[in-house]
């Protein structure tokens, strides 16, 4: 049997294979803004044979938004929309987690309630370019807005937003949630030793910088229990502008330990081209091995693009237990079956990653259908 097609148990949730669908922002929650519907229900149901589907990043609050047409999970309309998705996935035999997302400073006043400034751990702007969608449909890339630092008294409210979003995900029928602590977004900003220079209990030391991650995880667990809460981290560097600090490595090892002690469903590790090199530096194999050992539970690897052989190698070598594929999941809704049958993998069209409609989203054929 193909190594990625063996079943895996995520702290009690049995998945039929180790081919997971990575969280993929597609910017199609358009009518009304932030609400998913039949388009997304079809998309995820097409991929129900994956061991686990991890939803596109979904903002926990209006403040958490940083991209146009991204979905939310903070009001009843969002819950109703996502319930269409989970019902279809479950009817097709699948399992699906919702990724809980707050972008922090990777945003712009255009996306914020009342045009307010984005928030972060400190008042320092990201170098990211932010996509703005104008009423006439024109897209524009603009510099990220200058954030304001969250006040100490606001931090419990942010944690409460994670709890509220997880409770809504439960009501929407999800099997669990994934806390997004990676890729330079809010939790990653608090984790960063190069950015988080706060002098209160939410910054500075490793323990203080870990606080938002751990409290958000515990907040999500109020709805699901820790065994149905996964966590995504990017231990070898951000995809944008959080340079690695001297103690970030120790922080990541401790994060894995703390999350493992809680019995979280899985630890999801992002690294661009996992096993070769990250965006901000070389792949740290010892760190990957250390986090796996410290977590003492299922580790999901992500960042292989189309390199399935590298993914298989890293699972066989013990770096992880499952692999979350992104772009291959876009273009191969039947990826587990293709791996089983040795069928050629379809290429994706990156010009249609973002849009408004089924093109490049729900129109990738299954191998069997393509052969007919």
pLDDT tens digits for 27-58? 999 877 899 999 999 999 999 999 999 999 99
Please indicate whether residue 135 or residue 255 has the higher confidence score (pLDDT). 255
Residue 85 has pLDDT above 60, yes or no: yes
- Are 95 and 52 spatial neighbours (Cβ–Cβ below 8 Å)? yes
DSSP labels for 146-212? PPEEPPGGGHHHHHHHHHHHHHHHHHTT-SEEEEE--TTSHHHHHH-TTT----STTSSSHHHHTHH
- Are 210 and 255 spatial neighbours (Cβ–Cβ below 8 Å)? yes
Using CA atoms, how far residue 101 sits from 19, 27, 41, 359, 366, in Å, is: 23, 14, 20, 26, 30
Residue 278 has a pLDDT of 47
Regarding beta strands 277-278 and 281-282, do their DSSP bridges make them parallel or antiparallel, or are they unpaired? antiparallel
Residue 274 has a pLDDT of 58
Which pLDDT tens digit goes with each residue over 294-343?
A: 999 999 999 888 999 999 999 999 999 999 999 999 999 999 999 999 99
Q: Which of 185, 270, 361, 364 is catalytic?
A: 185
Determine if the pTM surpasses 0.85. yes
Please report which confidence band the pLDDT of residue 241 belongs to, taking 50, 70 and 90 as the band edges: confident
- Are 161 and 171 spatial neighbours (Cβ–Cβ below 8 Å)? no
Tokens representing 137?
Answer: 């449909």
Residue 137 has a pLDDT of 80
Q: What's the average model confidence in pLDDT over 177-204?
A: 97
Q: What's the average model confidence in pLDDT over 257-262?
A: 98
Please report which confidence band the pLDDT of residue 136 belongs to, taking 50, 70 and 90 as the band edges: confident
Residue 183 has a pLDDT of 93
CA distance 37 to 336: 25
CA distance 292 to 106: 29
Cα end-to-end span (Å), the chain: 26
Residue 72 has pLDDT above 60, yes or no: yes
HSE at residue 360, side-chain half, CA atoms within 13 A, is 14
- Are 53 and 20 spatial neighbours (Cβ–Cβ below 8 Å)? yes
The answer, yes or no, to whether the previous bond of 117 is cis (omega within 30 of 0) is: no
Query: Which domains are delineated in the chain?
Result: 3-371 (3.20.20.70)
Asked if 185 is an active-site residue, the reply is yes
Tokens representing 325?
Answer: 């594929």
Proportion of the chain above pLDDT 70, given as a percent: 95
Q: What's the average model confidence in pLDDT over 236-254?
A: 87
Residue 157 has a pLDDT of 98
Which pLDDT tens digit goes with each residue over 157-166?
A: 999 999 999 9
Regarding beta strands 96-101 and 52-59, do their DSSP bridges make them parallel or antiparallel, or are they unpaired? parallel
Q: How many CB atoms lie within 10 A of CB 312?
A: 17
Residue 240 has a pLDDT of 63
Residue 275 has a pLDDT of 53
Q: Phi and psi dihedrals of 8, rounded to 5?
A: -140, 145
246-255, 278-287, 344-353: segment of lowest average pLDDT: 278-287
Which residues, including other chains, have CB under 8 Å from residue 332's CB and lie 6 or more apart? 338, 345, 346, 364, 367
Q: Which residue has the tokens 């995504």?
A: 232
Which pLDDT tens digit goes with each residue over 23-33?
A: 999 999 987 78
Residue 279 has a pLDDT of 47
């Amino acid at each position: 049997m193909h190594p990625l097609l063996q079943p895996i148990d995520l702290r009690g949730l049995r998945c039929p294979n180790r081919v997971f669908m990575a969280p993929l922002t597609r910017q199609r929650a358009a009518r009304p803004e932030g609400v998913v519907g039949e388009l997304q229900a079809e998309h995820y149901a097409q991929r129900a044979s994956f061991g686990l589907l991890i939803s596109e990043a979904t903002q926990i609050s209006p403040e958490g938004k940083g991209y146009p047409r991204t979905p939310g999970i903070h009001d009843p309309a969002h819950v109703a929309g996502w319930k269409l998705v989970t019902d279809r996935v479950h009817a097709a035999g699948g399992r699906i987690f919702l990724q809980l997302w707050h972008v922090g400073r990777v945003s712009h006043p255009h996306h914020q309630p009342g045009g307010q400034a984005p928030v972060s751990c400190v008042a320092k702007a990201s170098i990211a370019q932010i996509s703005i969608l104008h009423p006439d449909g024109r897209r524009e890339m603009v510099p990220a807005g200058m954030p304001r630092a969250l006040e100490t008294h606001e931090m419990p409210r942010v944690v409460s937003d994670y709890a509220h979003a997880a409770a809504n995900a439960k009501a929407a029928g999800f099997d669990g949630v994934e806390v997004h602590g990676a890729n330079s977004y809010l939790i990653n900003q608090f984790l960063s030793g190069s950015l988080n220079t706060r002098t209160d209990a939410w910054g500075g030391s490793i323990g203080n910088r870990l606080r938002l991650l751990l409290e958000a995880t515990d907040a999500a667990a109020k709805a699901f229990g820790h065994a149905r809460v996964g966590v995504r981290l990017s231990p070898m560097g951000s995809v944008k502008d959080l340079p690695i600090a001297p103690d970030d490595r120790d922080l990541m090892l401790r994060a894995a330990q703390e999350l493992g002690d809680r019995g979280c469903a899985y630890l999801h590790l992002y690294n661009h081209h996992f096993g070769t090199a990250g965006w901000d530096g070389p792949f740290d194999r010892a760190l990957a091995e250390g986090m796996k050992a410290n977590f003492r539970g299922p580790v999901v690897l992500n960042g292989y693009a189309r390199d399935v052989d590298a993914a298989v190698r890293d699972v066989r070598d013990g770096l992880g237990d499952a692999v979350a594929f992104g772009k291959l999941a876009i273009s191969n809704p039947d990826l587990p079956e293709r791996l089983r049958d040795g069928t050629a993998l379809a290429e994706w069209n990156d010009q249609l990653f973002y849009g408004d409609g089924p093109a490049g989203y729900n129109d990738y054929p299954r191998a069997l259908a393509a052969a007919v």
